[in-house]
Chains A and B, each alone.
Chain A
Amino acid sequence: MTEPRTATTAAPTARANAPTPRVRRSGAARRRLRTAVAAAGFLAPSLLLLLGFWIGPMLGTAWVSLQDWNLIGVPTFVGLDNYTELLGDAEFHAALGHTLAYLAGYLPLVLVCGLAVALLLDAKLPAMTLYRATFFLPVISSWVAVSLLWKWLLNPADGLVNRILGALGVPGPGWWTDPDWAMPSVVLASVWKDVGFVAVILLAGLQAIPRDLLEAAALDGAGWWRKLRSITLPMISPSLFFVTVISLINGFQVFDQVWVMTEGGPGGASSVVVEQIVNNAFSYGRVGYASAMSIVLFAVILLVTLAQLRLQRRWVHYE
């Protein structure tokens, strides 16, 4: 084992020192090499981008998380100090709690609403493409635009929602100015934006269900609910699984809508993890600490996603 490895490591040095002898390669080897070079050439743009803008910064974040650095001075190495400080940081714990509360509201709502919309869009009606496009419109809109829109709609003073509620005789809540309603306001805006995405993925799943299955079930006397539970849901479970994983990951990273609608307020009532990261990095001059938060968030998302991959065996059916 040892010998070939030494040979390989020694090879570049040897080649660098001595003029390379012209080795006659077989035609096949030459073709393979040519294919490999071409493949590398084609992959290079994506690989470089991936390295430069994703893997590189990730490794950089891990390194910065071991430093005390305010961006304008020289970083000092502090080991795991940032991580031990996180253990006792009540604000960070609160932000984690708020993020979970957001997920608890957002995930079920976006899935149920997305499924409902998908079922409706699956119907055979005229102008269905128009409806589908309409539901997808918020998905391709910018988060900032959507958040501003909802901030206005949910304006406690004279927003449309409270005007309608007022006309119905219901006193509207303070929405994003009220600590109890701030997070629900954010959830509402997020569900509205993302429901189209979930619906489109689920719709693709729905349309892949063989119609004869549903017809056979109907002949056997299965009603709407029974067909949904016993045929539709199991058949679209891979799509459901996919949107659950994606939505959960996005949910953990909730930021734009919080930043625009509540800025984490009032009084920190809707402060979330990514908002804490941004504040620490760019406002409080604690880039190292913010990086440690990012790594913790990454670890949490990784664990949750791994758990989902394990659990999927219980409920996801691939044909």
Chain B
Amino acid sequence: MTTRRRVLAAAAGALAAVSLLAACGQDASGGADDGATGTVTYFTFSAAPDHLKDLDAIKAEFEKQNPGITVQVQTAAYDDYFTKLQTAIAGGTAPDTFELNYENFVTYARAGALLPLDERAKADQDYDANRLYPKAREAFQFKGKLYAVPSTFSDVVLFYNKKLFDAAGVAHPTADWTWADERAAAEKLTNKAKGVYGDYQPVTFHEFYKALAQNGGSFLSEDGKKATFNDAKGLEAAQWLLSKPGTVQPTVAEIGGKADYDTALFTSGKLAMWHNGIWQISKLAGTAGLDFDIVTEPGNTRKANAVFMNATAVSAKTKKATAAWKWARFLGSSQKAVETRLGSNWELPAVSDQAAFDSYLKKTPPANRKAVFDALADIALPPVLDAQQSKMQDIVTQALEKAASGQATPQQALDDAAAAVTALIK
């Protein structure tokens, strides 16, 4: 008898616990005010670890201007971000607002995970679409509708160490440089005995599609049905990247998997040229004894610059739609967000606000800060393959790795990769 009673009691206890858990899982409010108040969750990859304080400042100002709304920030490193976001959406615990980049945006929009924002934008008198950078606004439309509010953009430039150039008697890079100029300088600047390398450019998808554009090539055929990056122009672009490790750049084995090896190399004054994004400026400007400048990347037959764009999306399942929209708008175009991003050398706000940018341009280093905007004259956006984006990027990066490690000739590796990418398009 006692046994049975105990079992029953335990079962009842377990049931109570389960229903309690279920209750916790449910969000209590959301009904009456169309989710205009309460806690809005925001998931981001661009804030941690260097700009958490800056995000906090934006959040504090937003909460001050919007009493009744609290923003709860969750961050993840870029490499884990989309895995976490996907599983959260699948598990029904999607954050109310989350950051998306240009490459992955379409996947989420097509899957119906995002709230369409046009009507809210229209109804909101505080929203000024013209304040947003037009290219970014276009980038986050799906079937002609706005599905995310553009927040930031950034581009890739050539960082160079002035001291190393001067010591080697090599003229500083200019915007007119070509690959050949970069190559010649890199060879003169490399001094392995002193541990100094002339150049650093990762051998990956993102560098390859850009180098291909700099060489006048095209990643996909005009109708978008076929991969065309294995032609002569593609081969030359691949060889340009592959020629660097082991000559003017450390090899994979020499790097030995050390995280941020290139950053350490450049900040310690042992790297003359570095292909990297403008998000590095804040760290470099704060490095004592480092004298650096930037210039747009050399092209081969034409200039082409990689641009990354991020936006804030609102979950289709949110119960705080109104508050979430306000936060997304604030992150994108509010004065506070613009000032904070520019002031902290974070990614650039995706706004057309010349006055704000003027003060940004006046800051040094780097002296040639206008290269950040010069780069926007020749944008090469990454090819987007809808739901197969990461697979495509992995195919191309893996092909380059195969060529780099001698498992295939560059031509063979590119041919296989192009066939695989074409098969993905179907």
Contact = CB atoms under 8 A, between A and B. Distances in A.
Chain A interface, >50% SS class: loop
Contact of B256 (A73, A177, A268): A177
B257 A73 contact: no
B65 interface: no
Contacts of B6: 41
Given A156-B253, A177-B256, A265 B390 contact: no
Chain B interface, >50% SS class: helix
Nearest to A91: B420
Contacts of B90: 71-72
A178 B405 contact: yes
Contacts of B126: none
A266 B404 contact: yes
Interface in A137-179: 151, 155-159, 174, 176-179
B255 A34 contact: no
Interface string B289-302: 00000000000000
Given A156-B256, A267-B398, A267-B401, A285 B110 contact: no
Interface residues of A, number: 31
Contacts of B183: none
A283 to B, nearest CB: 5
A37 interface: yes
Interface string A173-211: 010111100000000000000000000000000000000
Contact of B7 (A41, A176, A267): A41
Contact of A285 (B390, B401, B402, B407): B390
Interface in A262-286: 265-269, 279, 282-285
Contact of A72 (B113, B398, B402, B408): B113
Contacts, number: 103
B407 A269 contact: yes
Given A72-B111, A177-B256, A284 B10 contact: no
B419 to A, nearest CB: 10
Contacts of B113: 72-73
A73 B110 contact: yes
A284 B254 CA distance: 30
B391 interface: yes
A38 interface: yes
14 contacts: A34-B4, A37-B4, A38-B3, A41-B4, A70-B86, A74-B111, A157-B254, A179-B405, A267-B403, A267-B405, A268-B398, A284-B388, A284-B394, A285-B390
Given A37-B7, A267-B398, 16 more contacts: A34-B3, A41-B7, A71-B86, A73-B110, A74-B112, A151-B257, A156-B256, A157-B254, A177-B253, A177-B257, A266-B404, A268-B401, A282-B87, A284-B391, A284-B394, A285-B390
Interface of A: 34, 37-38, 41, 44, 70-74, 151, 155-159, 174, 176-179, 265-269, 279, 282-285
